[in-house]
Amino acid sequence: MISEVRETKQKEIQILLKQLDGLVQIKGLPIFPEPKTGNPLWADVRELDLRYQIPVKKVTRFFDELGKGKIMATKCVKCNTIYFPPQDDCPKCRVSGLEWVELPVEGELITYTIISVKPPSFSHYPDYVVGIADLGEVNVTAWVQGPKEKLKVGAKVRLEVVKREPEGYLTYSLRLL
Amino acid sequence: MTNVAVVGTGHSKFGSRTDVTLQELAWEAVKQALEEANVEQKNVKYFSVGNVGTWSAEPLPAIVVGEYCNLNPSGTMRVEAACASGSAALRDAYLAVKSGEVDIAMAVGVEQMHQSPNLTVVEMIGRAGNYFWEFENFGLTFPGYYALYATAYMSKYGMKEEDLGKVAIKAHHYGALNPYAHFQKEITMEEYLKSRPVAWPLKLLDSSPITDGAAAVVLASEEMARKLTDSPVWIEAQGVASGTANLSRRTDFTSIEAARIAAEQVYRRAGINMDSPWKQIDVADVHDCFTIAEIVAYEDLRFAKRGEGMLLAREEQTYVGGRIPVNVDGGLKAKGHPIGATGVSMAVSLTRQLLYRAPHKSMQADIKNGRALAHNVGGTGHYAYVTLFSTRRPGT
Ligand SMILES: [Zn+2]
């Protein structure tokens, strides 16, 4: 669950904040020496929480279909361009209201990497593989799952809907065949 | 439109600069540049500030820097082009002078990344690209993006880990000589090969560090440059291009298309031979945020054919004395990569190279053509800026 992921992080932050409170009580100021250099640093007393609310109205269909096990792209009927990530506007033809089409599910891995130094918001996952697969008309970036010995450029992969744990939300990934 | 020359350069020490604030750091470079150019702040009629920020507290860096450096009330703006923000700031000031609107302008690049913990910085840089479709679900990181290029390049051309190691070793070799560099020590192949992976196949020693630093250049119109200096370094040409936000919208992961386009623009504008541009250029600074990026840059700039960039590294052709000296100031890899300062830092290094003012004689390239090239890429080929500097007045 998203709230559980956050609680774990908050516990770590709590320890740091307690130390900072102690510091302010002793010195009357939130100033501490940087461990390596001893340079005095002011610990910000103001906090900013960032969690964006991103509009998805024009591509709602993508998320509806994920729930039915399908991964969709959009297609401009005028110029036949397929858009993935899906978008409802074709800037080439300047038309909107594109057609929804199902992506081919089989493809080939073009490239990949294994992320070991992770962003803090991904630190609760084990090391993950991010790859880009060629599905014919479009490429898809996603996590690559399956046995490591099969992981190579040119490997066959299948695009599938998965539930991302521990958050428990629907997304898609590439499974090594 | 007038020709535009660099008439003063300034550069702070790069590194973990927690001894100063963002504006104090900028002042170190601005002060040096003003003194070199011998101009007063009141004569600098426009200044641009390259800064990406978010890891540092000030949301209006151009204003904070302007006040601290006594550059008010001249006009300014903060310029963002990710890791190419410095070159974008240079472009903004360059165009202000070139258009004839002002006769003296300044480009400042400054970044203070150590105001946030390293992992917060990893998160913020990783978010740069297409946040919603490529970061939100898949947690790509900056080394991760370039690792996608390294994997594809290795697979297509049979590049070895050691080829990337050669690039890192060269960067540290020159960084060790550069008093402004973040890392001032040599590394061995053994140390390189043993360094821990950050985003396979890239290791810690493939990566530029998280750095604080500032650089500044004073630019002047031809008429003003003649009054200020006997040794102007002209901005002969500049090329700019962009790439898709989503990496999945690209098909080739062995080359940065935006950089190729920007380089072609520059070569065409300056009348440089596209088949062997290195013969007309004496030294280059390229965007080696990761070792793979330098190898790809050799090819995108046509210093080597496609697939042969790794050979330049393997044969050590980019040291001083080779086919073309590249990143002989230590590059982003060893000099450091304070995101918004990097492009201006390149302009400073190259101007000094052209004037035989490299900080150490072993870093000085032989200047035969009077030309130096800067290649500054933002994100993973999201932005590209290529700038040609010359001791010869453009159009002669
Ligand atoms: Zn269309």
- In CATH, what number does B4-116+210-228 get? 3.40.47.10
Q: For chain B, what is the radius of gyration of the CA atoms?
A: 19
Indicate the range of A146-155, B161-170, B284-293, B387-396 predicted with least confidence. Answer: B387-396
Span B273-304, pLDDT tens digits: 999 999 999 999 999 999 999 999 999 999 99
Report how far apart the first and last C-alpha atoms of chain A are (Å, whole number). Answer: 29
Nearest to residue B5, comparing CAs of B162, B230, B214? B230
Q: Do A113 and B202 touch (CB under 8 A)?
A: yes
Q: Are B248 and A128 within 8 A, CB to CB?
A: no
What is the pLDDT confidence band of residue A12, given thresholds at 50, 70 and 90?
confident
Q: What is the pTM of this model?
A: 0.97
CA neighbor of B245 nearest in space, from B135, B343, B148, B139? B135
Look at residue B155 and tell me whether its pLDDT is greater than 90: yes
Question: Per the structure block, which two tokens stand in for B28?
Answer: 């170190």
- Distance between CA atoms of residues B63 and B73, nearest Å: 10
Compute the C-alpha angle B179/B180/B184, nearest 5°.
60
Minimum CA–CA partner of A56 in chain B: B132
Q: How far is the CA of A96 from the centre of ligand 1 (A)?
A: 9
Element (H, E) at B218: strand B212-221
Pick from A44, A119, A164: CB nearest B141: A119
Which tokens hold the place of A80? 């036949």
Contact status of A138 with chain B (Cβ, < 8 Å): yes
Asked if residue B108 lies in contact with residue B216, where contact means CB atoms within 8 angstroms, the answer is yes
Task: Please tell me the distance from the alpha carbon of residue B317 to that of residue B303, in angstroms, as a whole number.
Answer: 10
Rounded distance, CA B169 to CA B318, Å? 12
Residues of chain B in contact with residue A132, where contact means CB-CB under 8 angstroms, are 148, 247-248, 253
State in Å: Cα A79 to ligand 1 middle: 4
Question: Which one, of B218, B221, B271, B262, lies nearest residue B241 by Cα?
Answer: B262
Q: How would residue A9 be classed by pLDDT, with cut points 50, 70 and 90?
A: confident
Query: What pLDDT, on the 0 to 100 scale, is given for residue A8?
Result: 86
Residue A6 banded pLDDT, cuts 50, 70, 90: confident
How many whole angstroms separate alpha carbon B67 and alpha carbon B81?
Answer: 23
- Over residues B41-70, the pLDDT tens digits come to 999 999 999 999 999 999 999 999 999 999
Q: Is B289 assigned a catalytic role?
A: no
Beta-carbon contacts below 8 Å between A and B: 108
Interface of A with B in 89-118 (CB under 8 A): 110-118
Rounded to 10 deg, the angle between the B142-157 and B118-126 helix axes is 60
Task: Please tell me the distance from the alpha carbon of residue B88 to that of residue A87, in angstroms, as a whole number.
Answer: 30
Please tell me the predicted confidence (pLDDT) of residue B288.
98
Domain limits of chain B? Answer: 4-116+210-228
- More confident of the two residues B31 and A48: B31
Residue A116 is encoded by which pair of tokens? 């070991």
Please give the span between the terminal C-alpha atoms of chain B, in angstroms, as a whole number. 15
CA proximity to B378, closest of B93, B13, B25, B90: B90
The total of other beta-carbon atoms located within 10 Å of residue A28's CB is: 8
**A100 Cα to the center of ligand 1, angstroms:** 13
Cis ω before A119 (30° cut-off from 0): no
Q: B172, B182, B337, B382: which is the annotated catalytic residue?
A: B337
Q: pLDDT tens-digit profile of A42-89?
A: 999 998 888 999 999 999 999 999 999 999 999 999 999 999 999 999
Q: What is the DSSP letter of B323?
A: S
Can you read off the two tokens belonging to residue B392? Answer: 């010869």
Among residues B69, B83, B173, B289, which one is catalytic? B83
pLDDT for A158 equals 98
Contact A118 B139 (CB under 8 A): yes
d(CA B297, CA A22): 51
The two tokens of residue B144 are 């991760």
B:302-361 residues touching chain A, CB 8 A cutoff: none
**Rounded Cα gap, residues B46 and B106, in angstroms:** 6
Strand-pair partners of B376: B385
Inter-CA distances, A73 with A175, B268, B280, Å: 19, 39, 48
Q: Which 151-170 residues of chain A touch chain B by CB within 8 A?
A: 152-154, 164
* Burial bucket for residue A49 (CB in 10 Å: 0-12, 13-18, 19+): exposed
Task: Give pLDDT, residue B335.
Answer: 98
CA A68 to chain centre: 21
What average pLDDT is seen over chain B?
A: 97
pLDDT tens-place string over residues B197-226: 999 999 999 999 999 999 999 999 999 999
Laid out side by side, the sheet with A82-83 consists of A82-83, A72-75, A99-102
Hey, what are B180's tokens? 């402004």
CA-based nearest residue to B36, from B283, B330, B355: B355
- Token code pair at residue B162: 């050691």
B224: helix, strand or coil: helix
Give the per-residue pLDDT at A160: 98
Tens-place pLDDT, residues B325-380: 999 999 999 999 999 999 999 999 999 999 999 999 999 999 999 999 999 999 99
Q: Is the predicted pLDDT of residue B396 greater than 80, yes or no?
A: no
Measured at the CA of A10, the angle between CA B130 and CA B117, to 5 degrees, comes to 60
A2 vs B contacts (CB less than 8 Å): none
Which DSSP state fits A122? G
